[in-house]
């Protein structure tokens, strides 16, 4: 496989739309309805082998096989937790020149995606970038910085690959809470959301798609223009600028007040409330005084608060908070009439922290069969 390449004439299927597929079909002498046939095979039936698309003519199957590539991610590792959480490490084929996508084995550009199950939902947590430019001090995703953006096709492919895993099946929710800052790759993220939401795509309700941002005021305002009613979550993680700057380098570029102003505009223009994400770091930001400060911010936005217990990352100095401290923090918020939930920790017996599996793999991982 080393040295093989995908020709420049091959298109990434997960980046296509009904219009682009129809145009391709007609341009190759095929009926326009070939587009709807292809979409049904891939999105409804999870079939990406053109040879198995039995309602296409032999010539159509051959053209599809030579014209499209259905997966550019190489599975490098798969982990299953005892609670059913599934984490995949994907390596992405490089694109160093106009001659096409060159396959490197194993690919050095790696991201994670996770399927989180509950009784009534299957949530895909996807990455939007390779690495992360934000560099939060407690997070493994940003170790090594940003290597590049993922395309919309690569984002959608993560959902496709997760649903093919044993006992996963249909994905009901998607959260952009994996590696990367989604609003720093806004155009590709928006295109991916359209495919995830579209009736011809995965058909996932926009209200079941959440985009999480560390907070870019200008990007939040631009995102207000997006016409699909997705949920926006702000990764706040500290109730004051001074404390936030200790753990989030990008907090130096904008104050909490500026973030709240942008979030106010989001609510005015979309009518949808913001969710505040708050990761609890033991002994750092989990004191009752911090909860009191956070309550003031949450009430201003009329925001729900998701409290997240930190999953430790080897080599980083932060620790998981004590259960009593987490409960006390939640009680303080609720006493001040803030709707606060403690997110259930999932995948604790695997590399649960965001970016941790990728970080552990940097010494080299062979593709899984």
Q: How many CB atoms sit inside 10 A of residue 206's CB?
A: 16
Q: How many CB atoms sit inside 10 A of residue 193's CB?
A: 24
pLDDT of residue 29: 97
Q: If the chain, 369 residues long, is cut into consecutive pieces of 10 residues, what is the mean pLDDT of each piece?
A: 46 96 97 98 96 96 95 88 90 56 60 91 95 90 86 96 85 95 97 98 97 95 97 97 96 95 96 96 97 97 94 88 97 97 74 53 41
Can you tell me whether residue 153 is helix, strand or coil?
A: helix
pLDDT of residue 351: 57
pLDDT of residue 104: 46
Which residue ranges make up each domain of the chain?
5-69, 73-361
**In angstroms, what CA-CA distances link 89 with 123, 129, 314, 358?**
17, 13, 18, 7
CATH topology of domain 5-69: DNA polymerase; domain 1 (1.10.150)
pLDDT of residue 173: 97
DSSP state of 150: P
pLDDT of residue 7: 47
pLDDT of residue 368: 40
pLDDT of residue 1: 31
pLDDT of residue 348: 59
Strands (E), the chain: 5-7, 11-12, 68-69, 73-80, 86-92, 94-97, 100-102, 109-117, 122-125, 129-131, 146-149, 173-176, 209-213, 231-235, 275-280, 304-309, 340-342
Is 354 part of the annotated catalytic residue set?
yes
DSSP state of 43: I
| Token duo for residue 55 | 């309602």
User: Is the Cα torsion angle 41, 46, 48, 50 positive or negative in sign?
Assistant: negative
In total, the chain counts a number of residues equal to 369
Is 105 part of the annotated catalytic residue set?
no
Q: Which of 125, 132, 263, 354 is catalytic?
A: 354
Q: How many CB atoms sit inside 10 A of residue 331's CB?
A: 13
Q: Distance between CA 22 and CA 301 in Å, rounded?
A: 44
pLDDT of residue 328: 98
Residue 84 phi/psi, 5-degree rounding, is 95, -5
Q: Which of 112, 181, 188, 277 is catalytic?
A: 112
Of the options 3.40.50.620, 3.40.50.261, 3.20.20.70, 2.40.50.140, the CATH number for the domain spanning 73-361: 3.20.20.70
């Amino acid at each position: 496989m080393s040295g093989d390449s995908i020709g420049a004439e091959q298109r990434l299927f997960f980046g296509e739309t009904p219009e682009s597929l129809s145009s391709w079909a007609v341009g190759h002498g095929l009926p326009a309805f070939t587009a709807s046939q292809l979409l049904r095979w891939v999105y409804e039936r999870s079939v990406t082998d053109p040879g198995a698309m039995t309602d296409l003519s032999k010539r159509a199957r051959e053209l599809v096989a030579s014209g499209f590539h259905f997966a550019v991610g190489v599975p490098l590792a798969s982990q299953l937790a005892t609670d059913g959480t599934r984490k995949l490490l994907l390596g992405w084929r490089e694109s160093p020149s106009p001659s096409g996508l060159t396959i490197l084995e194993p690919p050095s550009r790696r991201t994670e995606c996770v399927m989180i199950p509950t009784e009534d939902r299957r949530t895909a947590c996807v990455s939007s970038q390779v690495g992360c430019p934000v560099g939060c001090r407690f997070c493994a995703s940003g170790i090594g910085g940003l290597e590049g953006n993922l395309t919309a096709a690569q984002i959608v492919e993560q959902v496709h690959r997760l649903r093919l895993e044993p006992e996963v099946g249909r994905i009901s929710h998607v959260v952009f809470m994996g590696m990367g800052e989604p609003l720093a790759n806004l155009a590709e993220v928006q295109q991916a959301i359209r495919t995830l939401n579209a009736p011809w795509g995965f058909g996932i309700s926009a209200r079941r798609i959440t985009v999480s941002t560390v907070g870019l005021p200008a990007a939040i305002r631009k995102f207000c223009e997006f016409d699909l009613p997705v949920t926006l979550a702000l990764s706040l993680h500290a109730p004051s600028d001074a404390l936030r700057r200790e753990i989030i380098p990008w907090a130096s570029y904008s104050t909490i007040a500026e973030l709240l102003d942008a979030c106010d505009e989001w609510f005015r223009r979309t009518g949808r409330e913001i969710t505040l994400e708050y990761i609890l770091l033991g002994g750092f930001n989990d004191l009752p005084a911090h909860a009191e400060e956070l309550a003031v911010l949450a009430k201003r936005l009329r925001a729900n608060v998701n409290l997240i217990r930190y999953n430790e990352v080897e080599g980083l100095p932060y620790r998981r908070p004590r259960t009593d401290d987490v409960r006390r923090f939640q009680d303080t918020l609720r006493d001040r009439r803030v709707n606060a939930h403690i997110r259930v920790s999932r995948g604790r017996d695997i590399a649960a922290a965001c970016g941790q599996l990728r970080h552990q793999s940097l010494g080299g991982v062979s593709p899984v069969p």
